[in-house]
Amino acid sequence: MIKAIVFDVDDTLYDQQQPFEKAFRQVFDLTVSADEMDQIFSNYIRQEQLVVAKSNSDSDMKLSKEEINFHCLHHTFKKFGLPGLAQSAATDFLSAFEEFSNGIQLFDGLTTVFNTLVTKFKLGIITNGSNEIQLAKIMKLKLHHWFTREQIITSEDAKAKKPDPMIFTLMNRKFNLRGNEMIYVGSSYFDDIVPAKKAGWQTVWYNNHNSTISDPNIIPDQTVRNPAELRDLLLDLAAQVD
């Protein structure tokens, strides 16, 4: 029996790519197709997760958000063969990204979903990133109405990041539940679905970018492709609880 539903945040509960793309197109005078933008965004976010995790695990390598941003952009520009990146442009991009991110909102319908779920299940969040950045997003999204700080684990808290299954085991201990009593909802097959399944959890894959399954031995229990499908699935789960 499912007793807890735990969520990823970025690109699962809100559209993270929208503020990124707005900032990128505003600052950089580049012609980039929609498909290329998807890849650029994904690479930037992956680099951010890697650098933040390394910075958190090594006290001698603490990096500022400006340094992290420049590294992520530099790696992305180099990988996709984009023109040289100036430090000033990277700074302008970060400012624009933060400004546009101030307007992030939950996907339509999730407020109603959380109002229902909180009466039926334990709710939690597992998210990669620093406490400073991720907790600020959680406040902007007003998730504190349904999730206390004790129900949230960041990769900084865990000193490990997804796809390490250990972070899911920590949530099991926090909730005093077994893996088969937990569901994880996430948007990344590699970072969310794979480690959650390895930890024995059930999973819901919010596959809004039509990604493919890379390991036929690890299949999500449910897959949804847009906010409406996610909302309906979660409400169906709640309806199954007396």
Q: Which domain holds residue 41?
A: 17-101
pLDDT digits (tens, 9 = 90+) for 128-166: 988 988 999 999 999 999 999 999 999 999 998 899 999
The pLDDT of residue 206: 96
Q: Which two tokens stand for residue 148?
A: 């206390």
Are 34 and 53 in a shared domain? yes
The pLDDT of residue 64: 86
With beta carbons less than 8 A apart as the criterion, state whether 12 and 162 touch. Answer: no
Question: Considering the chain, what is the average pLDDT of its residues?
Answer: 93
The pLDDT of residue 60: 67
The pLDDT of residue 6: 99
Q: Which two tokens stand for residue 180?
A: 């088969």
With CA atoms as reference, report the closest residue to 161 among 127, 196, 197: 127
The pLDDT of residue 147: 98
Selection from 51-55, 166-170, 209-213 with the highest mean pLDDT? 166-170
With beta carbons less than 8 A apart as the criterion, state whether 151 and 168 touch. Answer: no
- The answer for residues whose C-beta is within 8 angstroms of residue 37's C-beta and 6 or more apart is 17, 21, 24
In this prediction, residues 213-231 reach a mean pLDDT of: 94
When divided into structural domains, the chain yields a total of: 2
Are 226 and 114 in a shared domain? yes
Alpha helices in the chain (DSSP H): 17-27, 34-57, 65-79, 87-101, 110-117, 131-140, 155-158, 166-175, 194-198, 227-239
Are 30 and 9 in a shared domain? no
pTM beyond 0.75, yes or no? yes
CATH of the domain at 188: 3.40.50.1000
Are 76 and 177 in a shared domain? no
